[in-house]
Amino acid sequence: MNYQTLTQVMRRLALEAGDKIMEIYESDDFAIKTKSDESPVTAADEAADALISIGLREAFPDVALVTEEQADSHGEQASTFLIVDPLDGTKEFINRRGDFTVNIALVEDGRPTRGVVYAPAKGRMFYTDSVGKTVEEMGPFDKETVGETKPLQVSTPNNDALMVVASKSHRDQATDDYIGKYGVKDMTSAGSSLKFCLVATGEADIYPRLGRTMEWDTAAGHAVLAGAGGRVVRFDDHTALSYGKTGFANPFFIAYAPGVTLKDG
């Protein structure tokens, strides 16, 4: 895998998909369908998925591709694969809250090693560079030319005064109970994979997720966080969250800056 080419392609496709998504987001109305798992899907999900899939298959024809919107890709079994959520945070999109992202990642031997998370309505883009370090690129964005970038590093947390980020659409009592085990200075909420990015930038110290997610929801954010020095572990035993699982469903997990002293569930 040529990581420099991968970085360029993922970045460009995320920006192009973001443009498609925003065209629909800013329209007067858009159709909403329901998938077999009862989750919503819009024309923006489908348009972004088609654009990204064509681009990745053209650039990397020999690498397996898994994408949320193509059920026939969910039977893929490979040690190295690209994984895409073309519009993460569809509920945020539908409710016009802006906290939605384009997620593209590379998984190698069960670990997300490269990824891009682009939040087009927020004007924020995070990605791993050719050596796997995470940067945030400052807008406005040009598809062919990289603008000013800022290297990211997770916080050095104070365990008596942690910044916590939690899901905006999937918050529940179990999550609140777990957060209550920590010394918390402040809390914020965010949608989609932006939660991983807030830990990567040091804007938050820990993000616990006690709810259903799929690997395409988390891989890009996981890669971004790892490239900034962060970790993502299973909630139950604090071992590393792995990828390429049958069915691509995740267990509960915790994303955090390594200085956080994790509590048992």
Q: Are residues 129 and 250 in the same domain?
A: no
Q: What is the pTM of this model?
A: 0.94
Residues 147 and 200 in one domain: no
Mark whether 8 and 138 lie in a shared domain. Answer: yes
Residues 198 and 232 in one domain: yes
Q: Is 225 annotated as a binding residue?
A: no
Tell me, yes or no, whether 47 and 119 share the same domain.
yes
Based on the domain organization, do 32 and 140 belong to the same domain?
A: yes
Q: Which residues contact 61 (CB under 8 A, 6 or more apart)?
A: none
CA distance 163 to 234: 20
Distance CA(233)–CA(238), nearest Å, equals 5
In a domain, 156, yes or no: no
**189: nearest Cα among 217, 168, 173:** 168
Of 94, 119, 151, the residue that ends a domain is 151
- Each residue's pLDDT expressed in tens, for the chain with a length of 265 residues: 899 999 999 999 999 999 999 999 988 777 777 766 657 677 888 999 999 999 999 999 999 999 988 878 787 888 999 999 999 988 888 888 889 999 999 999 999 999 999 999 999 999 999 999 999 999 899 999 999 999 999 999 999 999 999 987 667 899 999 999 999 999 998 888 999 999 999 999 999 999 999 999 999 999 999 999 999 999 999 999 999 999 999 999 999 999 999 999 8
- The pLDDT assigned to 265 comes to 85
- The pLDDT, as a whole number, for residue 259 is 96
Phi, psi angles (nearest 5°) of residue 175: -65, -45
| Residues 118 and 84 both lie in one domain | yes
* Residue-level pLDDT at 157: 97
SS3 of 218, please? helix
- The confidence score (pLDDT) of residue 92 equals 86
Residue 17 lies in a domain: yes
89 is in an annotated binding site: yes
3-state secondary structure of 264: coil
Domain of residue 237, CATH code:
3.40.190.80
Q: Is residue 263 part of a domain?
A: no
Angle in degrees, CA 224, 71, 109, rounded to 5: 40
pLDDT (0 to 100) of residue 38: 59
| 56 annotated to a ligand binding site | no
Dihedral, CA atoms, 25, 5, 228, 231, nearest 10 degrees? 90
The CA distances from residue 112 to 45, 115, 180, 216, 251, in Å, are: 22, 7, 30, 11, 16
User: What's the CATH code of the domain at 82?
Assistant: 3.30.540.10
Q: Is 68 annotated among the ligand-binding residues?
A: yes
For the purposes of burial, counting CB atoms within 10 Å of the CB of 259, is it exposed (0-12), middle (13-18) or buried (19 or more)?
middle
Residue 262 lies in a domain: no
Whether 244 is in a domain gets the answer yes
Q: What does the pLDDT read at residue 37?
A: 64
Q: Are residues 121 and 59 in the same domain?
A: yes
Cβ atoms 116, 141 nearer than 8 A: no
Q: Is residue 261 part of a domain?
A: no
The answer on whether 85 is annotated among ligand-binding residues is yes
On whether residue 264 sits in a domain, the answer given is no
| Measured distance CA(10)–CA(104) in Å, rounded | 7
Provide the domain limits for residue 139.
3-151
Q: How many domains does the chain have?
A: 2
Q: Are residues 117 and 178 in the same domain?
A: no
Instruction: Output the CA–CA distances (angstroms, integers) from residue 108 to 83, 244, 258, in the order listed.
Output: 11, 9, 22
Contacts of 9 (CB under 8 A, 6+ apart): 55, 56, 59, 60
- Both 95 and 206 in one domain: the answer is no
| Distance from the first to the final alpha carbon of the chain | 38
**90 a known binding residue?**
yes
Amino acid 42 reads: T
Instruction: Name the residue among 113, 149, 131, 130 with its Cα closest to residue 222.
Output: 113
- Tell which of 151, 179, 202 closes a domain: 151
Q: Give residue 101's pLDDT.
A: 96
Residue 34 burial (CB count, 10 A) = 9
Residue 147 sits in the same domain as residue 169:
no
Residue 19 is assigned to a ligand binding site: no
Residues 70 and 187 in one domain: no
Residue 198 lies in a domain: yes
Final residue in a domain of this structure, among 119, 151, 183: 151
CA distances from 102 to 15, 75, 78, 186 (A): 9, 22, 23, 27
Judge whether 208 and 254 are in contact, CB under 8 Å.
Answer: yes
